[in-house]
Structures are given as C-alpha cells and as structure tokens.
Amino acid sequence: MDTFRRLKDFYWPYRKYFYWSILTLLFVSCITVVYPMVLQFTIDEIILKGEYNYVPYVAIGFIVIMALKGAATYCTQYYGDLFGISSVFQLRESLYEKLQFMPFNYYDNAKTGDLMSRLTADVEGFRFFLSFGFSQLINFALIIALSLSVMFYYSIPLAIVTLCMLPFLTIAVYKFDKEVHPAFRGIRKSMANLNTKVQENISGINTVKSLSREDFEIGKFNHSNEDYKSQFLQTSHIWAKYFPVMELIGNLSVVFLLAYGGYLVIQGDLTAGELVAFFSLVWYIMGPIMNLGFVMNTFSQSKASGERLLEILEEPLEMNDEERVINNVRLNGDVVFENVTHQYKNETKTALKDVSFSAEQGQTIGLIGATGAGKTSITQLISRFYQPQSGTILIDGKPIEEYALRSLRKNIGTVLQESFLFSSTIKDNISYGNPHAEMEEIIDAAKRAQAHNFIMELPDGYETVLGERGLGLSGGQKQRISIARAILIDPSILILDDATSAVDMETEFKIQKAFREVMKGRTTFIIAHRISSVKHADEILVLEEGSIVERGTHEELIETENGHYRRIYDIQYQDKDKVFQKNGQEV
C-alpha cells in the first residue's frame, strides 16, 4: 500500500465521500447476509411446519429488504464514484501543473505519447480502484465476517470444516497478486510506447508520406502492437492459471460442506433450513475470495498506474523559485557571460566551453556558426532553461539565479527556429504572452512582423482558427505570427533563434527592417546561418564546438584573412559576387 500512502494527499481530502460509501456499504452487506436467514426461516418454520399463513408477511418483508438494499447500493456506487472522480480531478491537475514547471532537461528524454498515457490511462486506472476497488475490498471483508458469524451461530463444527479450505484459497490469491502486478506494469509501459508511436507518426505524417515510409511506420507500429499483445497474453496466462485453482478450492469446500452438513442433518444436529443457509453463506465467503482475484487485478493495475504517476509527481524541480529575491522587475537588458561552461544531461560533449562576452542595453549580438556550435545554448542559458555547470551569467549586474523565473522570462521575447502555434485564433496566438493586450496593440505587433496583410486576407482575419500546430499556414506565415507574439510582450531582451529561416529573402528584408525599429532600446541576440541576418549587429560572435573563435563587427570580421566568418561569407556570397561582377555592379 506504499503507493497509495504516497498519493494520500490527493484522495484523503475527499474522505467524507468514502465514509458515506462505506456506511451505506455496511448496510448493503448486512441486508445481503439476511437473505440466507430468511431462506432458513422459510424452510424450517413455514415449509416443514406447514405455517403457510406467514408467506405474505415474509414476501412483503423480502420486498422491503430488496428495496432498501437497492437504495443503499445506489448511494454506495454514487459516493464511491464521487470519491474517485474528485480525487483524480485534483491529481490530474497536479500532474499537468508539475509538467509545466519541469526543467527543460526532463523533456530532453521524455516521450510525448508516454506522458499523455500517464495523464489519461494511468490516471483512469488509479481512479477505478478508488471508486470500485477500495469499496469492494471492504465489502468482501464485511460479507465474509458477517457470513462467518451466522455460520458459527448455526453450527460451530460445520463452520470449522468449511473454513479448512480457506488458507489454500488465500495462498492462491497471494501468489496471483505477486505474479500479476509486474505483468500489469509491463502492460502500462507497453501501452505508453504504443501511444508514443501513434503520436510521433501523426506529428510527422508529412515526412512519412514525402519519403514514402508508410510501410516502415506500419512495421514499427505492428512491432509495438505485438509487444502490447504479448504483455496482455502474459497477464491472461496468469489469470487462466490461477482462476481454475481458486474455483477448484471453492468447489471442494462446497463438497465438504454438503457431506458433513448432510451428516449433521441426519444426526439431528442441524436443520435442513440451516444447511441450505449454510450453502448460501459459504458462497458468500468463497465468492468474494475468488473474486478477490479480480479486485487484486484492479489493485495491481492501479498500483502500477500510481507508480508511474509518482515518477512525475516526485521528479525534483531543479529550480526553486521561492528563494528568489528579485521579482516583478523591468530589466534594462545588460547581459554578461563570465567563463560559462555548460554540458547537457546524458551528453558527453560539452555544449559551451569557457564562454565570456558582454551585451549592453540596446546592443544587438549576432551568433553564427555551424549546427551544434553552441549558439542556441547561449540563449537557453539566458532564459534559464538550463543551469550552466560553471561560470556566471549576470543580467543588469546581478546573477541570473537571483531572478524569479517568471519575472525573468516576462522580460525575454523569444522567436524559435521552429514556430509553434496553438489550435486557437490568430489573435489568441499573437496575444498568448500578453493576454490583456488591446486589439490595436495586436494589430501593431502583426504589422511590425509583416503579418498583418496576409492575416487580413484570411476569411476571418484575426479570428481565424488555426489547425493543430498552425496547420493551414505556410512556414513563413507561422514564423511571422511567432515574431508578432514576441514583439507584443514588449521584452527587454529579444532572442531570434534563426527567426527568418522559413521566409523568403524579400520577406526577410521587410522583417529585418521592422526589427530595427523593434530592437531600439532592447538587447537583441540573433542566431542565424545567413550572413544577411547578422551583418548589422553591433557585435558578431562566431562559435565553433562550444567556444567563441572570433568576435567583432561584420566589417572587421570580413577583413580577417582565412577567418571562420570570412569563410562562411565566401561560401554564401561567392555566386552572388560573380553575378554582380558580370552585370558591372558593386558588391
């Protein structure tokens, strides 16, 4: 029960519903045990003695008992479901909230399909046991205890003989649980893997179709589906192995009951009605114990689900914001890196090596270099997506760790290389970082990002609802909406991570022209592969394998013979040089 103890905070506040469920369940259990006693009375006092005038009273009493049991059963079911649903409502909210504040390195290795499976299938598995399993366990205990009490009242020797088989049944149930729990944990993991395959395939369907890899994807899915089937068949094998054993033990108990009970009736130590009542009561004991396998089945599933949920809930948050003393401030935007070294978790290669530079308020810093050189790592450290292994990062002269994360990131506007848009209106996407912005401000941001014209050409303009991940817009259009979103929060620090990579040269020129106005007074970091995107920067940092190998303005770096920047320039502009010279134009 350790798993349930660790999750107690989520269901214990709703214990009043659980108590009401148990209270009504106690009433149901008591009424259930009355049935055999009514049967015994009917046989011994009415049928055998011929007192048929009692039949109408017994019938009416039986109907009343059934009606009361029906009402109590309804309350038991209702309060049980209310207990489970209320508990997992809070649990699901806590899981989702925890995922929002997980550090970036958690998502470096996490799989979307697996996380979705935990928030849906695993939460539901845990809920089912709260709503049904707990009450069933208590119901079984009550029924067995009450039935045994009545059996010992009727005949102590017969009750003892009947109970001789119970230890064997208990052992079978215990072994069943020991085997079935790991099997159900395997099923949960296999289901999560299956969900991941489906999610990845749907997200990357364009790539799959463009490369004609449908058969390959079908093969991958079939492999995961086969694993899921194997896990389920293993569980079915365990169930099929133990259930007949439990049923055999129950039937043997009934055989002993009939044999010895019949002997006691013949000897006059037991009435026929009591033997019939005994027969019903023994199934009230054997039935729950045999069905205990099913309840243990749900318990094992719930326990496996709870363990997977605890893996998220107990994952440490690497950045503790409660101790930050600087909050709700407007930054100037002075950024200083002092001997910063950073390496990503589970990576052997160092992303940044002893990087030092400074950017004053209003300056534009260009970051250029090959893929994997460390450009994005610098901007991710500025936003505190990761913590460096060594060195110091200062913003406005204070260590970055002193700023509350939310306060820091409200001052940073980021446009990523891969634009992400939500399945909502264009207006909501642009105002996502500033939900209280006026419509005039939203339109102004869109105009600066060169997005207003194409937005107005859409059927519903700014109220146009986008498909998943911005489906229906071109890459350049999505990127311009992302740029407008960054502009609208009025950041002190602006990060453009290859922000114009998906637009044509003409649109890039227009956006850069708009950016010159937006960049005034803001510290801007431009990550780019195109020289044209960084040539106007106040300082350009050329990175290679995590180190700054060159720095300076475009004019200074272009004059460096055999320099890294000059080599990139020559590669990108050598064909243009030839064209310009042919037409007699100045480069």
pLDDT band of 513, cuts 50, 70, 90: low
Same domain as 191, residue 159: yes
Instruction: Mark whether 257 and 357 lie in a shared domain.
Output: no
Other Cβ atoms less than 10 A from the Cβ of 308: the count is 22
Q: What are the residue ranges of helices labelled H in 342-419?
A: 375-382, 405-410
Residue for token pair 């009561």? 281
Q: What is the pLDDT of residue 334?
A: 93
The mean pLDDT value for 440-461 works out to 89
Question: Does the pLDDT of residue 314 top 50, yes or no?
Answer: yes
Cα 410 from chain centroid (whole Å) = 26
pLDDT confidence of residue 538: 92
- Asked, for residue 516, whether it belongs to a domain, the answer is no
Q: 362 and 304, same structural domain?
A: no
Task: Look at residue 454 and tell me if it is in a domain.
Answer: no
Of the pLDDT bands very low, low, confident and very high (cuts 50, 70, 90), residue 336 is: very high
- Classified as helix, coil or strand, 547 is strand
Clarify whether residues 302 and 335 are in a common domain.
no
**Span 304-316, mean pLDDT?**
86
pLDDT above 90 (res 311):
no
Pair (132, 237) in one structural domain: yes
Whether residues 283 and 347 fall in one domain: no
Q: Does 337 share its domain with 398?
A: yes
pTM value > 0.75:
no
DSSP 8-state secondary structure symbol assigned to residue 43: I
Structural domain contains residue 520: no
**pLDDT over 50 (residue 312):** yes
Q: For the range 131-136, what are the long-range contacts, defined as Cβ-Cβ under 8 Å and sequence gap of 24 or more?
A: 131/80, 131/81, 131/83, 131/84, 131/85, 132/80, 132/84, 132/298, 133/295, 133/298, 133/299, 133/302, 134/18, 134/80, 135/21, 135/22, 135/25, 135/76, 135/80, 136/291, 136/295
Specify whether 31 is located in the same domain as 150.
yes
Q: Does residue 373 fall inside a structural domain? A: yes
Residues 231 and 267 in one domain: yes
Beta bridge partners of 497: 527
Confidence category of residue 317, pLDDT binned at 50, 70, 90: confident
Which of 313, 348, 370 is the endpoint of a domain? 313
Task: Count other C-beta atoms under 10 Å from residue 169's C-beta.
Answer: 23
pLDDT digits (tens, 9 = 90+) for 218-246: 888 888 888 888 888 888 888 788 778 87
**Residue span of the structural domain in which 182 resides:** 2-313
pLDDT (tens digit per residue) in 37-94: 888 888 888 888 777 888 888 888 888 888 988 999 899 989 988 998 898 888 988 8
- Rounded to 10 deg, the angle between the 272-313 and 15-41 helix axes is 160
Handedness of CA 385, 424, 420, 484 (dihedral sign): negative
**Tens digit of each residue's pLDDT (9 = 90 or more) over 126-145:** 888 888 877 888 888 888 88
Residue 491 falls inside a structural domain: no
The mean pLDDT value of the chain amounts to: 82
**Which residues, 6+ apart, have CB-to-CB distance to 94 below 8 Å?**
10, 313
CATH number, residue 158: 1.20.1560.10
User: Is residue 324, in this structure, part of any structural domain at all?
Assistant: no
Is residue 85 located within the same domain as residue 194? yes
Clarify whether residues 271 and 355 are in a common domain: no
- Residue 98 shares a structural domain with residue 144: yes
In 77-192, beta strands by DSSP E: none
Under a CB-based contact definition with an 8 Å cutoff, are residues 547 and 339 in contact? no
Mean pLDDT of 116-126: 83
Question: What CATH number should be reported for the domain holding residue 390?
Answer: 3.40.50.300
What is the reported pLDDT for 583? 46
Q: Give the pLDDT band (50/70/90) at residue 584.
A: very low
Q: Give tens-digit pLDDT for 196-211.
A: 777 777 766 766 766 6
For residue 575, the model assigns a pLDDT of: 53
Q: Tell me which DSSP letter residue 122 carries.
A: I
According to the model, what pLDDT value does residue 441 have?
92
Structural domain count, the chain = 2
Please give the average per-residue pLDDT across 365-384, as a whole number.
Answer: 90
Place 385 in a pLDDT band, splitting at 50, 70 and 90: confident
Residue 432 counted as domain residue: no
CA 245, CA 248: separation in Å to the nearest integer? 5
Q: In the prediction, which pLDDT does 581 show?
A: 44
Residue 110 belongs to some domain of the structure: yes
168-182 pLDDT, tens digit per residue, is 877 877 787 777 767
